Structure 1
C-alpha cells in the first residue's frame, strides 16, 4: 500500500525556475529541487509547498507507511493545457508506483482546482493547504505589492480594469453628471469582476477548441445547434413584436410576461431541436443512449407547454385577450394536462427504446 504525496504546481513556476521537466518523484529528487527553487527565488511560496510535501512524506514513513513524494507541474499556456499535462503526469506515476491513495499539497486556490483530476485516478485521503505566515510591517507590505505587480495574471485581472475605469472618469464627467459618471465606472468594474469571477474568460477560451472539434467531427449537432440559434432569435423577435403590438412596451411585469408568452413556443422548439441533435449524436456514436438523452426532448417540450400555459393565464387575464371558448383558468388546466401527457409519452418512449437496445445487445452477444 503506497501513498503518493503530490505537490501541485499548476502554472509550472517550480519547473520553470528550476529548469526541470515534470513529474519529479522521489525523496532525493524533490529535496534537490527545493534547493534549486530556493536559490532561484527564495521568497517563492513553491519552496514552502515542496518542504511541506517532504514533511508529510517523512511523517508517513515514520508511522510505517510506504510513501512516495512527487511534484506535478502544469503549464502557463492555458488552464486546459495545464490540467491535461498534470493528468498525464499522474497517469505515469500511477503506472510507475501503483499507489493506493494520495495526499495533495497545494498553496493556492488555482492549484486546488487540480484535486478533482487526482481524485479521478486515485483516492485522495487529504488536501494539505500551505499558508505562508508573513510579518505585518511596512517592508513585508512593500514586497507583497512588488510580487503582486510582478504577477502578469493579477496585473491583467485587477490593474487593467482599474486603469480603464480611472481613465473613463474624466471623460464621463465631461459629458454627464457626476452620479452618472461614477455609476458607469462602478458598473464597468463590476462587470470586470464578474467576468473573472464567473470564469467567463476560461469559457470563451475553450469555445474555439470546442467549435473546431464539433465541426471536424461531422456531428448532427452542428446543424441542430445552428437551427436552434436561429429559432431562438426568431422567438426573441416574435416576443418583442408581440409586446409592442399589445402596447406593453414599458418595463412592466405584464410586458415581461407577454414577451415570454409570445416567444416561448419558438424557444421551446429551439431547445428541442438542440436536444434532438445531441440525442442523435449519442445514438450514432454508441448505438445505445442513456436515459437522460432519450427523455431530454420530451422534457423540454413539456416544460415549454406548461410555461406557455402559465404566461397565457396571466397575460390573458390582465389584458382580456384570447378566445372566449375557454376561460384563462380552463386553458391553464388544459396546458398543464398536455405538458404532463407529453412527459408521460417521453417516459414511455424512453422505456421502449431502452428495452429494444438491451434486447439488441443480448441478441448480438448470442
Structure 2
C-alpha cells in the first residue's frame, strides 16, 4: 500500500478551522455490503476494526486502505495539536442520488457527535470525491487526500474506459449492429451448420460474410447506400439508375464473351493462353463496350438528374462526367480494333485528341456559364 505524500498541514493552517473531522468516503458502501457494519463508523478504534474486517472479507478492496489512510491522517493531525475525529461514511451499492442522500445524512450524524468546523476528505478515487459538494453543504472541506494504490490508478482508469466502450458496444445501435450483430449471425449460422453436418461449407459461408462485413464497413458502403436510397424523388432516381447501371455492367460480360469467335474459345490452347490472346481480348472488349458504357452512363445520368431535381449545385461535374465518358468511347473502341486487326497504335491519336478537345471545350463553356450565373446571383443579392 502507498499513501499520497502530500501533507495537509498547509491547507489546514491557512483556514480558520480548529476542530477537524477526517472523513473516509465509501460511496458504494463496500463496508456495509461486505462486513455488515452499520455506518457511520466514528472513532479511531471503530474505524480500525471496520478496515480490518473489510480487508479480511475482500483483501483486494481499496476502501480498507482508504480507512487506514484516514486513521493515519487523523494521527498526524493529533500530533500537531488539532482537535480531530475520524469517521467513515458510506452511500449505497448502486451509487446515484440515494447514495448522496445517505452520505449527507451520515455527515450530519458525525457533526452531531463531534462539532467540527472543517473536514478533511480521504478517498481512493474520483467516484468517492464526487460527493465533496454534498459534504460541503453541512461542513467546509479544507483538504482532500487521495489514496493511491500501486498500479491501482492505471487499472482503475483502464476498467472505467473499458466499461464505457463495452456499454457503448452493447447499447448503442450504431455500434452494436456491427460488433454484436455480425458475430451473432456468424455464430448462429455456424451452430446450425454444425448440427446438420455442413461444417466445411458453413466455414466458407462464414468467412464470406465476415469479409463482406469488413468491406462494407471499411468503405462506408452502408452509409452511402442509405444516402442513395432515401425515400425521396432524388433517392428513388439514384437507386433505380444505380441498380440498372450495375445490371447493364454485369450483362456486358456475357455480351463480350458472345462476341468472341467460338473457334478461338474451343481451341486446345490453355486457359492462360486464351485470356492473354490479344484477339480474344479485343473481341471481348468490343462486344462488352457498348453495354458497359450504357451502364456507366445510366449511373452518371442518374446522379446528374437527382442532383438537378434536388437543387444541389453539382451539375457541372455531373455533366462533365457524362461528356468524358462519351469522349472516351471512340478511343477505347479504336483500342479494340488495334487488338483484333493489328492496326497501328498511332490510330489511337486522332480519337484521343478529339476526346481531349471535346472535354476541354465543354469544361470551358460550362465553367464560364457557372461563373456568369454566380455573378448574376451576387448582383441580384
TM-score (norm 2): 0.42
* Bigger Cα Rg: 2
TM-score (norm 1): 0.43
